[in-house]
Amino acid sequence: MTRRGTFALLLLPGLAFLTFGFLAPAMGILFAAPGTDASEIFIRLGEMLTDPYDLRIIGRTVGLGLIVTAVCLALGFPIAYILARSTSRWGGVLLALAIFPLLLSNVVRTFGWLVILGSNGALGQLLVHFGITETPPQMLYTPFAIVMGLTQLFLPLAIIACYSAVSQVDAGLDDAARGLGASRGRTFWDVVVPLSMPGVVVAATLVFAGSVTAYTTPYLLGGSRQRLLSTELYSYSSVTVDWASASATAIVMTILVVLVSTVAARIGRKGATA
Amino acid sequence: MNTRKPVAAALAIVGYIVMLVPILFVVATAFTSGSTLRFPPEGLSFQWFDAALSYAPFTGALLTSLQLAVASTFLALAVGVPATLAIYRGALPGKGLVEGLFLSPLIIPELVVGLALYQQLIITFRVDNWPVLLLGHTALLLPYAVRVTGAALAGSDVSLEEAARGLGASPLRTFFTITLPILRPGIFSAALLGFITSFNNVPLSLLLQSRESRTLPITMLDYVQQSYDPMIAATSTLILAATVVIAVIAERTVGFAKIFGGINR
């Protein structure tokens, strides 16, 4: 057998797995949901994009995704910047502390917010203790809880993406700008941030895509009042067993993520060649 | 932390608080002698650890999770490593397309993959939950296997293998004496990452579960819905301790940065 033939054979098991375990079933969502005609799915998809209830869920999902993305960049970039420019041995420890949560189960990480934001939770007790409110305010099952939970979940991703970008910006450029009389703030905004843009775009894409598809956090912290696309998808498929709606929700979610990733990849490439 | 950048430092502190403080609260609550998630905890005891370790649904689910994580990691590597070799060493036409195909499960939301497998295999073709779970987890881990081992291969010199072949070594001998040692750190990283990813997975396990094949994270989510006591905190603390051990092993052997650098490329 030729060398090429051998290599092609090596691909076969993987391709078979992908075809039967991923590609074919994924196609089925569009065309062959159990006992459902493809046309029903597309009709439901059309309804979803006009019905106020469904639109509110899509809007809430995208809105929370954008907020979480903004918060993760606002907190993650400074952390990445400090870590990348740190020369002390604490830099390594802080970097490890930022990456470690990625290894830890989402359920475990999200559960912490139940302890903090719950009715007998730490934050409520603190607010009452300092006389800011008389009774602990309702924080669990609010958009605020979801934003906190998702920020905790995705901040490490934002930090890693920004960190690798900032590390590639020569620290000598900072010094040069400062030497030429630019203020610290001006050096940061006019030199460091623009040069790290590709990493920022990657960070934003990862966080946004993660936020609009996350299930555990909205389920635990959003309750039944803050429904998002992910919790709707689960309840259509496993509670109400409405395949057309489940498929339509899956399609909306996939388009949202693929669209954002594609646009971001475009921007990233343009940034790299500019 | 550098005090000459006060705004950046303040934001960084907020960031670390949001990332780490909830985890500390979970640990603190696990040791309470009370029976609620009240803070501060009422007293010190290990009763909730005892409760968690003797709660049959959790121990059963832990076993399921471990079996699934080991099996899917093994399968993903068994299928993914040969594919990686073909992609990075095969000089096959359409290399970019094939690579994209292997990475595609990363782009599609996991819930969507879970729904697809549930609808098509469990409902339509009546396949048992366990094989579908294994298939789904393996598909999910394939991109990691290909990307992380691929990074090890891409960073190495092809001429080493060519030299071995030129000196008369058989393809198999070349593979075992040259290529495999190059791949080893990548395979180790991919195995570690795969195990953790499968063990922690919620979206796929949620949609593909049955009573006999329910993983630990799903069982914990169910439990929180029914009762609101510190047993989940104790279970979480045990998972945290195990994760710290894995993290230390990862850092000591290949290094965090190497493992995660591979995914974000």
Higher local confidence (pLDDT), B164 or B191:
B191
Angle between helices B56-89 and A3-18 (to 10 degrees): 150
ipTM over 0.95: no
Q: What pLDDT, on a 0 to 100 scale, did the predictor assign at position A20? A: 85
Query: Which residues of A are less than 8 Å from B124 in CB distance?
Result: 28, 32, 34
Q: What pLDDT, on a 0 to 100 scale, did the predictor assign at position A6? A: 81
Output the tens digit of pLDDT for each of chain A's 274 residues.
577 788 888 888 999 888 888 888 888 887 777 888 888 999 999 999 999 999 999 999 999 999 999 999 999 999 999 999 888 888 888 988 998 999 999 999 999 999 899 877 888 888 888 888 888 888 889 999 999 999 999 999 999 999 989 988 888 888 888 888 888 888 888 888 888 998 999 999 999 999 999 999 999 999 888 899 999 999 999 999 999 999 999 999 999 999 999 998 888 776 555 4
CA distance, residue A206 to nearest chain B CA (Å): 9
B120-159 per-position pLDDT tens digit: 899 888 999 999 999 999 999 999 999 888 888 887 777 8
3-class SS of residue B32: strand
Residue type, B245: V
B93: pLDDT strictly greater than 50: yes
CA distance, residue A52 to nearest chain B CA (Å): 23
Q: What pLDDT, on a 0 to 100 scale, did the predictor assign at position B3? A: 47
B84: pLDDT strictly greater than 70: yes
Does A104 contact B18 at a Cβ distance shorter than 8 Å? no
Q: What pLDDT, on a 0 to 100 scale, did the predictor assign at position B78? A: 95
Say if residues A253 and B111 touch (Cβ distance below 8 Å): yes
Mean pLDDT, all residues of chain B: 88
Q: What pLDDT, on a 0 to 100 scale, did the predictor assign at position A1? A: 54
Query: CB-CB: which of A26, A96, A97 is closest to B113?
Result: A26
Kindly tell me the sign of the dihedral angle through the C-alpha atoms of B235, B236, B239, B244.
Answer: negative
Does B232 contact A74 at a Cβ distance shorter than 8 Å? no
User: What's the Cα-to-Cα distance from B156 to each of B160, B180, B181, B253, B259, rounded to whole Å?
Assistant: 9, 12, 11, 19, 16
User: SS3 sequence, A211-224?
Assistant: HHHCCHHHHHHHCC
Q: What pLDDT, on a 0 to 100 scale, did the predictor assign at position A116? A: 92
**Which tokens hold the place of B172?**
């198999």
Q: What pLDDT, on a 0 to 100 scale, did the predictor assign at position A272? A: 56
Q: What pLDDT, on a 0 to 100 scale, did the predictor assign at position A83? A: 92
User: Of B152, B87, B108, which Cα lies nearest the Cα of A251?
Assistant: B108
Helices and strands in chain B: count of H runs, count of E runs: 13, 0
Q: What pLDDT, on a 0 to 100 scale, did the predictor assign at position B58? A: 95
CA distance, residue A64 to nearest chain B CA (Å): 17
B42: pLDDT strictly greater than 90: no
